[in-house]
């Protein structure tokens, strides 16, 4: 469960430190006060996309920290152990966002990626937003909610894996089938290309080696001239060569070394220099002796390079890419020549995977069928309580063609509803009004939330469009849900707010031309005043206060101690 939330420099929040409790926490406030700002901050610390707008104006960065107690969330504990991020039963998520939109994420003080943050955050919190009723009209959402209620995650994951294997092999099968239709002409063309490249027989790195050799052969005379000039300057000129001059220096220094021993090091260096010049000259002579002019070899290398360049232009690749192209074309030709065997193998594998998929699909259909009956029955009971007497919801299955595989099973799922007695059942998207859709959505989300793995469930104004006695039932439903999970509910309904075991009030004020949002936990007397405000508006009368106390079901002792 979420135990603490710390927010700094986030949009219109300067500094906020909240302690949250088990059970049901309600968040209320005037319209426009920023009640959903807690949700916005939580979504960010759980991995939502961040931008510079999150940072309070004139601040360098914002920081959001959420502390969770995960001792009852086995999946979260396993995830932390697998990633070596465990810290007993405490879990601290922290995210900082700079004014340029860049963010950093930390889990128990250690940096993590945004993907890891989102993956782990999904194990802790589930947010049901006020815009979700519209998403409920989509078949995909309806299927996902049923699957969540049924709790067959492992079966779904296995079906998806088998489907992906089948899809990859089927793509290869389709491509190969098309190739076989064009096999004769394609094989002839490939044989011609491979034969050309076989004849060229270009070895790996041969092109670079030939280029270097061509450079040397083409510049033979220049190389000889430069080397001979170097020998002339270094040693061959008896009087002016470097070697002769160094020998003179060595003789002169040697004649005075007994007088000045300090020059011994310099004398040794000059002596070594003469030795090195002699060795270098010996190397140059050997090189020149072996560097014969070879016009025939130059002609061969030149012709070879021309062939390589012509072949590369023909195939629209670089000369260096020709060996790789040769191998690729040879492999394609081999595969085509053996395509019948590969096609037969693919057919066998596809048949096996299809059979495996169908077996798993039948299991999924059976699981969905059982769960759909229970879910439809419970939703029907809930929507009748929510002011739709005689309303009814059923979940219908439309089988998918047997030759078509889907990652989501063997049927399409659609919710059908009757909102009034005597009406026919029709698809949800066709019959409900906005208020009816809100009630059905709320009933479905409350019921499916009981099957969710996260221990903190957030409902962001999901009670929009609901009022009167129905609103009290909504509050009771959320209160009942809080017996098994932490529930945080942002609401504008006093009937819902009265059910909260913890009540947070959001307010907004201006100071020094800046706007600030503040959130405080209310005492019992403050709860009465807030419920009364929600009931009666600006003018709060004694009757309104009495009504608020009645809704909170307070005894006189409750008021004396708060």
**What CATH number does residue 519 fall under?**
3.40.50.300
**Per-residue pLDDT, 155:** 95
Q: For position 554, what pLDDT does the model report?
A: 59
> Which pLDDT tens digit goes with each residue over 389-415?
888 899 999 999 877 899 999 999 999
Q: Could you give the C-alpha distances from 183 to 186, 190, 193, 331, 385, in angstroms and in order?
A: 5, 10, 15, 14, 68
Task: Using pLDDT thresholds of 50, 70 and 90, give the confidence band for residue 556.
Answer: very low
Residues of the domain holding 560? 1-124+458-539+553-562
Q: Which of 289, 318, 337 is the last residue before a domain boundary?
A: 337
Of 488 and 419, the structure prediction assigns the larger pLDDT to 488
- For 152-168, the DSSP string reads -HHHHHHHHHHHHHHHH
Listed residues 289, 311, 337: the one ending a domain = 337
For residue 218, which of 320, 310, 290, 299 has the smallest C-alpha distance?
A: 299
Residue 394 inside a domain? The answer is no
- Please determine, for residue 452, whether its predicted confidence score (pLDDT) is greater than 70: no
3-state secondary structure of 16: strand
Looking at residue 562, its pLDDT comes to 44
Q: Tell me how many domains the chain contains.
A: 2
Residues 212 and 107 in one domain: no
The residue that leads in pLDDT, 562 or 228, is 228
Is 301 inside any structural domain? yes
Mean pLDDT of 258-268: 85
pLDDT in tens, 6-32: 999 998 888 889 999 999 999 998 877
What are the angstrom distances between the C-alpha of 74 and each of 124, 455, 456? 11, 10, 14
- What pLDDT score does 225 carry? 82
Whether residue 79 is found in the same domain as residue 191: no
pLDDT in tens, 206-252: 888 888 878 877 777 787 788 888 888 888 776 678 888 888 888 88
Give pTM, 2 decimals. 0.61
Q: Average pLDDT for residues 52-57, to the nearest whole number? A: 87
Q: Can you state the angle between helices 114-121 and 74-82, rounded to 10 degrees?
A: 160
Which segments of 66-126 does DSSP mark as H helices, in order?
74-82, 114-121
* 230 and 87 inside one domain: no
Are residues 201 and 310 both part of a single domain? yes
Distance CA 372, CA 149 (A): 9
3-state helix, strand, coil in the chain (%, to 5): 55, 20, 25
Do 215 and 312 belong together in one domain?
Answer: yes
Once rounded to an integer, what is the mean pLDDT over residues 372-392?
A: 87
Calculate mean pLDDT across residues 310-325.
Answer: 90
> Is residue 411 domain-resident?
no
Question: What does the pLDDT read at residue 371?
Answer: 94
Q: What is the pLDDT of residues 437-447, one digit of tens each?
A: 777 877 877 77
| Lowest-confidence segment of 27-31, 48-52, 61-65, 467-471 by average pLDDT | 467-471
Same domain, 199 and 327: yes
Give the whole-angstrom CA distance, residue 505 versus residue 533.
12
Mean pLDDT across the chain: 85
H-helix segments, 316-427: 322-337, 339-385
pLDDT at 454: 62
Residue 513 located in a structural domain: yes
Residues of the chain with pLDDT > 90: what percent? 28
Report if residue 484 sits inside a domain: yes
Q: Please tell me whether residues 112 and 229 are part of one structural domain.
A: no
105 and 5 in a common domain: yes
Distance (Å, whole) CA 284 – CA 51 = 67
Which of 63-72, 113-122, 179-188, 468-477 shows the lowest per-residue confidence on average (mean pLDDT)? 179-188
- Residue where one domain finishes, among candidates 291, 306, 337: 337
Asked whether residue 296 is assigned to any structural domain, the reply reads yes
pLDDT at 364 over 80: yes
Mark whether 233 and 326 lie in a shared domain.
yes
Domain assignment present for 62 = yes
- Is residue 309 domain-shared with residue 218, that is, in the same domain? yes
Please check whether residue 294 lies inside any domain of the structure: yes
Q: Are residues 106 and 215 in the same domain?
A: no
Query: How far apart are the C-alpha atoms of 389 and 430, rounded to whole Å?
Result: 19
Q: Are residues 192 and 320 in the same domain?
A: yes
């Amino acid at each position: 469960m979420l135990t603490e939330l710390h927010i700094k420099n986030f949009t219109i929040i300067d500094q906020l430190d909240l302690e949250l409790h088990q059970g049901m926490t309600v968040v209320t406030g005037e319209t426009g006060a920023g009640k959903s700002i807690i949700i916005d901050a939580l979504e960010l610390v759980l991995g939502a996309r961040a931008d510079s707008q999150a940072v309070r104006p004139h601040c360098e960065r914002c920081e959001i920290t959420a502390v969770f107690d995960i001792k009852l969330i086995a999946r979260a504990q396993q995830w932390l152990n697998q990633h070596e991020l465990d810290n007993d039963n405490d879990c601290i998520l922290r995210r900082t966002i700079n004014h340029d939109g860049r963010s950093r994420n930390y889990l128990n003080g250690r940096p993590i990626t945004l993907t890891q943050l989102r993956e782990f955050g999904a194990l802790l919190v589930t947010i049901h937003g006020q815009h979700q009723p519209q998403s409920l009209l989509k078949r995909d959402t309806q299927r996902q909610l049923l699957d969540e209620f049924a709790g067959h995650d492992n079966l779904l994951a296995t079906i998806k894996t088998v489907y992906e294997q089948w899809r990859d092999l089927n793509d290869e099968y389709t491509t190969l089938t098309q190739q076989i239709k064009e096999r004769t002409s394609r094989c002839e063309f490939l044989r011609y290309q491979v034969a050309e490249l076989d004849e060229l027989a270009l070895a790996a790195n041969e092109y670079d080696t030939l280029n270097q050799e061509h450079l040397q052969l083409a510049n033979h005379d220049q190389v000889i001239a430069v080397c001979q000039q170097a020998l002339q300057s270094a040693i061959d000129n008896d009087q002016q060569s470097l070697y002769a001059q160094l020998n003179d220096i060595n003789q002169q220094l040697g004649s005075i070394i007994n007088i000045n021993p300090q020059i011994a090091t310099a004398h040794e260096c000059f002596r070594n220099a003469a030795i090195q010049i002699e060795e270098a000259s010996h190397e140059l002579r050997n090189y020149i002796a072996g560097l014969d002019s070879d016009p025939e070899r130059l002609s061969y290398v030149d012709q070879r390079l021309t062939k390589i360049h012509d072949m590369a232009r023909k195939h629209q690749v670089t000369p260096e890419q020709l060996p790789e192209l040769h191998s690729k074309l040879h492999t394609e030709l081999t595969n085509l020549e053996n395509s019948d065997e590969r096609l037969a193998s693919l057919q066998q594998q596809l048949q096996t995977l299809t059979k495996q998929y169908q077996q798993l699909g039948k299991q999924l259909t059976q699981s969905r069928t059982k769960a759909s009956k229970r879910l439809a029955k419970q939703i029907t009971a809930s929507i009748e309580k929510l002011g739709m007497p005689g309303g009814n919801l059923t979940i219908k299955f439309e089988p998918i063609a047997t030759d078509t595989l889907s990652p989501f099973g063997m049927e399409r799922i659609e919710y059908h509803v009757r909102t009034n007695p005597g009406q026919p059942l029709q698809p949800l998207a066709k019959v409900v009004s906005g208020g009816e859709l809100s009630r059905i959505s709320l009933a479905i989300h409350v019921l499916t939330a009981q099957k969710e793995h996260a221990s903190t469930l957030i409902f962001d104004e999901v009670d929009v469009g609901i009022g009167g006695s129905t609103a009290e039932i909504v509050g009771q439903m959320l209160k009942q849900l809080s017996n098994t999970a932490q529930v945080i509910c942002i609401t504008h309904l006093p009937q819902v707010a009265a059910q909260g075991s913890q009540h947070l009030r959001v307010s907004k004020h201006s100071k020094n031309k800046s706007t600030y949002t503040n959130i405080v936990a209310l005492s019992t007397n403050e709860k009465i005043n807030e419920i009364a405000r929600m009931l009666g508006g600006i003018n709060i009368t004694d009757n309104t206060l009495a009504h608020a106390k009645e809704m909170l079901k307070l005894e006189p002792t409750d008021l004396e101690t708060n």
